[in-house]
């Protein structure tokens, strides 16, 4: 696991530079951030002074203040995660209408879509942020529309294919219920569990895309007057934070918006059914232990760097986050592919458990197109590559997952792992 450590000596918010006047040797020991030593006092240092530098005060937890007021805010992200949680909990309620589920996905302010009245009053929605990043979709309306239609389709298929067969025993080509130990799964005729496709595809198309390709992007962080305003401490109207600080916090919120104490989120990872849960799952694997702290530390140091106006450090931390969040998605795609293979390989195959795992794999594979390789500024896998994987996953026979072979599952797993620094065996544990 790659680590980048900054050794920071924090004595105050400023390093104090000193230089001597060519005329009398008097030391000038105080200067403003970014001002040549001596400039502010009017004393000419003869061009021999180094610029003052702002120290990076990196707190132990994700807390930042200005004039005694908390500057961290990601309430919009918390709201959307809560919307996703409630929608997901309603997927397997066969009395729900398509209108109700789609209303929860594409919520309009004031609509009575949720049990939570606060969510009903919100002007936020899930669908509006799917495939909506500045870097990947601001000039790509065609793919954006196709992706949103795909995610819409998971909801429609649940209502139109699965609900009518709720009490029917599933079989190849026939939607219905299927046993998974003591649990019951509800699948399509191809073995797809649509609630899993929806949830895992949302991890990429909403959470990761907004985090990696929008709020951590220089095109968003440095947009307009953001740099000048952050340099000058100019806050948003009526708010205690600068726009740049807030954008970084919004990225943070998509990972930690539901943690009990989001300033110290690794204390209770697994707080939602989306990205937070799968950071925890990767962290619990000895092969990837430390990934949760690496992501958190990068978020924290990047935010501290914004306060200190150290934008090179900020961007380095954004790349660490991109690499590791992308890795989490890839790890879980392989984990579920291999888990499905194991359940199908039993002397008496556990089809319900296998289809559950492979449906999760489907959603994580779909999410690969929203990852971000910091070395190329592109996703680790293109949209066409992920679509090819999914075609292969369902392409071994006319009944989709009922017909999938171990060779196909291994081939997809190996192709994913080849783009990262881990093996299929490591991810599968």
Encode pLDDT of 389-409 as tens digits: 999 999 999 999 999 999 999
pLDDT category at 1 given cuts 50, 70, 90 is very low
End-to-end Cα, the chain, rounded Å: 17
- Does residue 427 lie in a domain region? yes
- Does residue 276 lie in a domain region? yes
- Does residue 15 lie in a domain region? no
pLDDT category at 49 given cuts 50, 70, 90 is very low
- Does residue 5 lie in a domain region? no
pLDDT tens digit string along 109-134? 999 999 999 999 999 999 999 999 99
pLDDT category at 429 given cuts 50, 70, 90 is confident
pLDDT surpassing 60 at residue 198: yes
- Count of the separate structural domains present in the chain: 1
| Token pair of 2 as six digits | 């790659």
- Positive or negative, the CA dihedral 120, 121, 124, 127 is positive
pLDDT tens digit string along 138-184? 999 999 999 999 999 999 999 999 999 999 999 999 999 999 999 99
pLDDT score of 143: 98
pLDDT tens digit string along 62-89? 999 999 999 999 999 999 999 999 999 9
- Does residue 182 lie in a domain region? yes
pLDDT category at 51 given cuts 50, 70, 90 is low
pLDDT tens digit string along 290-302? 999 999 999 999 9
CA–CA distances in Å: residue 34 to residues 13, 48, 93: 13, 15, 59
- Does residue 51 lie in a domain region? no
pTM of the model as a whole: 0.88
Domain limits for position 264? 73-429
Distance of CA 213 to the CA centre of its chain: 10
- Does residue 322 lie in a domain region? yes
- Does residue 105 lie in a domain region? yes
pLDDT score of 14: 34
Give the residue-averaged pLDDT of 266-287. 97
Task: Return mean pLDDT, the chain.
Answer: 90
Helices (H), 26-128: 75-90, 98-105, 117-121
């Amino acid at each position: 696991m790659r680590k980048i450590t900054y050794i920071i000596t924090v004595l105050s918010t400023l390093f104090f530079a000193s230089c001597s006047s060519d005329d009398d040797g008097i030391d000038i020991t105080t200067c403003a951030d970014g001002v040549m030593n001596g400039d502010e006092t009017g004393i000419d240092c003869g061009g021999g002074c180094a610029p003052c530098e702002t120290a990076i005060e990196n707190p132990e937890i994700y807390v930042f203040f200005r004039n005694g007021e908390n500057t961290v805010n990601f309430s919009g992200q918390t709201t959307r995660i809560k919307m996703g949680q409630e929608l997901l909990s309603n997927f397997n309620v066969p009395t729900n209408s398509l209108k109700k589920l789609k209303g929860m996905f594409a919520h309009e302010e004031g609509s009575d879509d949720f049990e939570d009245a606060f969510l009903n009053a919100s002007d936020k929605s899930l669908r509006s942020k799917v495939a909506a990043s500045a870097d990947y979709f601001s000039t790509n309306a065609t793919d954006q529309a196709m992706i949103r239609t795909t995610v819409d389709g998971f909801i429609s298929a649940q209502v139109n294919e699965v609900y009518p067969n709720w009490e029917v025993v599933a079989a190849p080509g026939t939607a219905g219920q299927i046993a998974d130990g003591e649990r019951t799964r509800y699948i399509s005729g191809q073995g797809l569990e649509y609630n899993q496709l929806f949830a895992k595809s949302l991890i990429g198309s909403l959470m990761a895309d907004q985090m990696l390709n929008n709020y951590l992007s220089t095109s968003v962080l440095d947009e307009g007057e953001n740099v000048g305003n952050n340099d000058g401490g100019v806050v948003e109207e009526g708010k205690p934070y600068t726009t740049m600080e807030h954008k970084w916090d919004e990225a943070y919120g998509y990972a930690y918006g539901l943690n009990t104490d989001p300033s110290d989120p690794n204390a209770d990872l697994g707080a939602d059914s989306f990205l937070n849960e799968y950071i925890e799952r990767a962290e619990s694997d000895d092969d990837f232990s430390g990934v949760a702290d690496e992501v958190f530390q990068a978020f924290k140091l990047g935010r501290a760097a914004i306060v200190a106006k150290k934008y090179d450090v900020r961007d380095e931390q954004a790349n660490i986050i991109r690499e590791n969040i992308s890795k989490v998605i890839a790890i879980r795609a392989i984990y579920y592919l291999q888990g499905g293979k194991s359940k199908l390989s039993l002397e008496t195959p556990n089809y319900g458990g296998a289809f559950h795992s492979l449906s999760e794999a489907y959603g994580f594979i779909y999410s690969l197109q929203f990852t971000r390789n910091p070395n190329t500024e592109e996703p680790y896998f293109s949209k066409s590559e992920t679509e090819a994987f999914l075609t292969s996953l369902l392409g071994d026979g006319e009944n989709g997952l009922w017909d999938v072979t171990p060779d196909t599952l291994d081939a997809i797993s190996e192709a994913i792992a080849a783009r990262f620094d881990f093996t299929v065996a490591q991810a599968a544990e």
